[in-house]
Structure formats: C-alpha cells, structure tokens
A and B are shown apart, each in its own frame.
Chain A
Amino acid sequence: MPLPKIEGLATGGTAGPAHPGFCLDDLSGRLVELAGGADTAVLTLVTGVLLEAQLRGEPVAWVATGATTFFPPDLAASGIDLAALPVIQVEKGLPVLRAADALLRSGSFGVVVLDLGEQVSMTLAVQTRLVGLARRFATALIALTRSRNHPQRTRGPRSQSRANSLGSLVSLRAACTHRRTDFDRFTCELHALKDKRRGPGWRHTEVCRGPNGLC
C-alpha cells in the first residue's frame, strides 16, 4: 500500500526546510545581520522569516529606530498577521538594546527584528548578552543594517565580512540585494559573507513580484 504524499517531503529523504541556511530553524538562537546597500532587499527577505515564524504560531516582534519603517500593506499582502506583530518604536542607541533585551529575556518570541538603519554600533558586552539570551531561548535575533557602500564591494576577503559589521559575535552576516529579472518578477538574493556554522559564500534566492505599480 503506497504511503500518502506529504508536502515538503523530498524523495528518499526527510522533511526539511525549503531553503536550508536561511530558514527559521537555521536562524534560531543566533544573532543574524542582514546588510544592504543601495539595492538592498533586507525588508523583503526578513518578511519571509517572519511569515514562517507566524505560520508556526511563534510570536514575533519588530524594533524600529527611526521614523521610517516597513509599508504595512506590503507585509499584509505577504500573509503577515499585523495584529500579532508588535512594533516597538524607540530611539537609537541604548533604548533599542534595552527593548531587545526585554523581548529576548521573556523567552516568548521566535523572531525579534532590530531595524537599525545606518551608523550602528553594538559593544561586545551588549552582543554577548543578547547572543546569550537568543541562544538560551532559541530566538532568531535579526538585525537589519544599511550602508552607503555595498557590503560586497569592499576590497579584500577579510574586509568583506568585517566592513560596517555589527561585531564579531554576529553568527551570520549576509548581503541582501534585489534585481529585476522579468517584467513582473524580482530576484532577491542573500549572499552569506560570514557564517559561523556553514562557512561563508552560500547564496539563497527568492523570486518576488513587484508591489502595485512596479509590475
């Protein structure tokens, strides 16, 4: 008698995530930095992780530092439940880190996003504390940063992973870009510049449609 088909079960293998390396299972318990330049796609890529967490019933939170933030209708169109997405609006610097500490310490969030923008700094002591909490409660702490220079365009293999980085305790640092590949299709690419678990260099791509007016 044949076994029923189960979605996501690869032939002859075990059920696994669709995108190994950039999925909630691989990001849990880590400090992740998604960096971007002019053609950044950090918001789009982190939305995928938030959606995955919400579909599993995991609470998520977003800490924003500036006046700007995501356009909520785009997240709703992605399937995100906005009613279950608290957005904490605080000033840059210490308040962000204190808010992140409170969220992580509760142990109740699957994903905490820190939308840090440009010119960010995080001392080693703070990183140690946050990484410890993220690991203890299996929370994905994802920091979104942005630089005027493209993260991949800095010279030298060592400087690639270190340029404008949050710090040495970042477990995964990736450059996120998007480019138009078809009339109504955009390819968002994540390039791992540093990965303490799998090693750098791997890539992850997602194809998205443009928002209204762009496709």
Chain B
Amino acid sequence: MACADLPALPLQVLLWRHPEWAKQPAAVVDRDKPQGLLLWINERARQSGILPGMRYAAALALDPELRASIVPESEIAAAVDGLTQRLWSFTPRVEPSEAEPGVFWLDATGLQRLYASPRDWAVRIKIDLASAGYAASIAVGFTRFGSYAAARTAPAVARDGIRVFRSPDEEAAASREVPIARLGFDAKLRDALHRLGIERLGQFLDLPVEGLRRRFGKAAYDLYCQARGDDAAALDPVLPTEPLEARVILDHPESQLDRIATQLSAMLAPLLQTLAGRHQGLSHLAVALRLDDGSTADESLEPAEPTQDRAQIESLLRLRLGRVQLGSGVTELALAVRGVSTKRQQLDLFATRSRDLAAARRALARIRAEHGDDAVRRAYLHEGQLPEHCFSWERFERLEPPRARDLAGTSSGGRPLVRRFFPSPIALPSRARHEPDGWLFDVADGPIEETLGPFVVHAGWWLREVVRHYYYVRTSSGRWLWIFLDRQQRRWFLQGEVE
C-alpha cells in the first residue's frame, strides 16, 4: 500500500490561476466573504500561524498579506480525474480519497519486475507528477492510514519527499510522530486536542478509547480506529475505462457540413452500441475536425440527460455543426463519447404529471446545442450588499418540477413590484447646479418629480470599499428609476427601474 499526497490540491489549482500568489500566504476559502472558512492553506500561511478551519477575517488579522479565493468543486473533480488517469500508468489500482482531494492510495504489489525497488517506483511517480506541475509526497508502507500519515510529513522528514518503510512496525513508529495539525482532522477536534496538549498522533492513540468516544463523539472515534489500523479494508480502486473514440481520414477535403454530419453519424453508431453493452447512456460527445490548412475545430455537446437515442444525438450534432465556420475543407474527423450508467425510469409509467419534463429538458438541450452552452441559465441568489452581488447567473443544469411558494395570507406584505436590472449600470448626466426645470435624464421622460432616499450601502470594505447612495426617482412620465450615486467616482448611475 502506498499513498501519494498532493498537499492542498485545490490550492495548487488556485495557484495555477494566480501564479503571483505563489510566494505569498494563500488559501482556498469556501466562500468569498470575511466569514468564509479556510479550507486549504499553503506553507507560507502556516508559518504565520494560520490554520485550516479559521475564518478568513481571523486569518487576515494574523497576516494581512493573505490571499484567498474559492475553487469550484467541478474544477477540483476535474483535477482529481486527470491525476487518477496519470497514476494509472504506474499501477492499475488507484483509489482517490473522497474526503480529501489530493490524496491517492496506490496498490504497489506485483510491480517488483517492472521497477528496481519501491523507492524507484515512487521516484518515477513523483517525477511524473512534477512534470505535470504538481508538488507531491509519497509514502510506501503497509497500511492505509500509516502510509497516509507518513506521506503528509514526508517533505519535512525526507528531502525528496519520499518515504519507504521496510516493516509495519517502522511505519507505525513513524506515524506516531506525525503532528495532528498535518492530518485531515476536523478543525474543532484538532483545536480541542491542542488545548489538551495533544499535538502528535501517538498521543492521540494513547487516549482511552471509551472516554474519547464519550467526549468527542463518533467521528473522532472512527478516526481513532482508522489511525489505530482497525480499517484493514482493501483498496476500492477506480478502474480505467477504455475511451470510446472513432477516427476517419477522408480521401478528399470535405467542406459540406451535411456530408460531414452524415459521416459522423456513421461513426457514432458503433460507439453507441458499445455504450449500450455497458448499460450506459451517452452523456458527453466531443468532435474534432482537422482542416486542410492544418488547423482544427473542436466542438462538444451534452444531451439533456444520458441517452442512447441516436436520432436525438444526431439532431443535436447537426445543430452544433451548423455553428461551425470552416475556413477550408475537413480532412480528418474524430469523435469521442463518454457514457454514464442509466437508470430505468419505471416510476414514470405511473406519473400523472400533465407536462413531460423529459421533453422540456430535450428542448433546452436543443437550444444549448444551437446557441451555445451558456444560452440557458438560471439565477442563483447569494447574500450580498450590492445588488449585483445578490445573485449570479449560472448554467441551467436540469429542469425539475417547480416548488413555488404561495405568499398569499403570509406576513410578507404581498408581492413586490419587480425591477428590471442593468448588469452594467448606465452612467447618468451629472446633476446641474441650477435646476430650473428639475433634474433631467431623458427629454422624453421629463424632469424628476419625486425622490426617495438615500439608502446608503457600504460594501467591500475588506477589499475595495464601495459606498453607494441609492435613490428611487419618479420622472414626470411616471417611470420609477433606481439610481445611485457612487461616492468614489462621484457619478450617478442607473441601476434599474421598476416595471
């Protein structure tokens, strides 16, 4: 059993985005707010006394140079998938940790004839990961938790970040010296143990087990059992799947999209058959076209839900190809599909819903295929002080039955008027010093006749302070405009209007 630990993988992903943060204390937070929790931190932040689990505001008090941002789960999952595929070239049995992204357990058995020694094998893995831009430490041992704990402290113990144990006793002795702060303990448990003066794993394992469970709960007890080596569970590896691809080189450059679509349909059929044999539906399709001038055009699409309906997929494919601008003829076509296990929808036989949600999803997928993936969106509400921070537009994933709230008879005061919102506020003409006819935005609307406000909003004081004075103003034509005065810019802007 071996463990490859890519310390703070989400942080490594973040630092790719912001390479200028590499030499500063940096952290990944769960939300971009002062109350956001620090999830992963780098060594520079750790040196300042910052620990995972702290609030962003508290960490900033320790080190004002701290830089932090969020990393979406999808981005982390993509990185873990990519790393799993890389590690398959060293062992066929790789298990990524679900709890801690960046931790991978590897099966090192049976590789003696391929590599000179376990250390040689570990060195090759480390070099390969470094070539991909990842910092990693590796421990080759005998137990799941022991190798994990050793990998966590390998950079401090071994210069090359690799530890290889010759016996289970050696691994157990080494893991007892691992600081608890280096392990993925819950922040509350870690702090409680710190207050008791328990800093190392060995001290934790020496605690009376019943008292531990009574005082810290079942989660701490489970962790204790894992650290003690009670979980002798075998690896639960993610097995490599053969990619489903097809490639055709054309005899002559082809510029007719209809013919290209027909060729792609012919290539798609056997791939769908293979997917059907795996009891999977197509969830993602990627097309690559190599053009006669050497360039390539890549397109990808996703049906509303995993499907084996060839007609539906071909329809989406033709719509997507309709958007492609070909500079020259196509000389080579490549098609790759990805599938996921489909669930049988027996319960739909008894559904009494009058509208067919599956057909609605297909319609939305059709619109996405024709107008781009971002054409169908939904609004997410957030807690924010500025209007533009109160919501965001994100890709619409899946249409579900609506769950509206009937506010009639509640204490909400009834339905509010709905405002139209301008994502980019429109700069207004400055207010004249003398206003004989009133303040005029637009001649057609006439002057301002009524003003309500100001409603002062202070935001972003922890990064870049924004002070806005919001007003509602009514023009003589009856428009209720939602405007604000930006104190920093000293300008008036139109944020929206009541409709």
Contact = CB atoms under 8 A, between A and B. Distances in A.
Q: Say whether A associates with B.
A: yes
List 7 A-B pairs, minimum CB-CB distance, nearest first: A39-B478, A54-B404, A108-B360, A72-B379, A84-B402, A106-B363, A38-B477
Given A55-B404, A102-B366, A47 B377 contact: no
B401 interface: yes
Contact of B417 (A58, A61, A74, A108): A74
Contacts of B124: none
Contacts of A71: 387, 391, 418-421, 496
B391 to A, nearest CB: 4
B499 to A, nearest CB: 4
A6 interface: no
B64 interface: no
Interface stretch (A88-96, A160-168, A197-205): A88-96
B153 interface: no
A79 B378 CA distance: 16
Contact of A40 (B362, B367, B413, B499): B499
Contacts of B350: none
Contacts of A75: 379, 418
A142 to B, nearest CB: 14
A36 interface: yes
A211 B419 contact: yes
A188 interface: yes
24 contacts: A37-B478, A38-B445, A38-B478, A39-B480, A44-B418, A54-B402, A59-B357, A71-B418, A72-B379, A72-B390, A72-B421, A75-B418, A79-B406, A82-B380, A85-B402, A88-B377, A98-B370, A102-B366, A108-B357, A110-B355, A186-B417, A208-B414, A209-B414, A210-B417
Most chain-A CB neighbours within 10 Å: which of B399, B400, B470?
A: B399
Contacts, number: 218
Nearest to A18: B408
Interface in A68-88: 68-88
Interface string A178-192: 111000101010000
Contacts of A1: none
A88 B367 contact: yes
Given A71-B420, A95-B371, A213 B496 contact: no
Given A43-B420, A177-B478, A106 B362 contact: yes
Interface residues of A, number: 72
B381 A72 contact: yes
Interface of A: 36-44, 47-48, 51, 53-55, 57-61, 67-90, 95, 98-99, 102-103, 105-110, 148, 177-180, 184, 186, 188, 206-214
B415 interface: yes
A73 B389 CA distance: 11
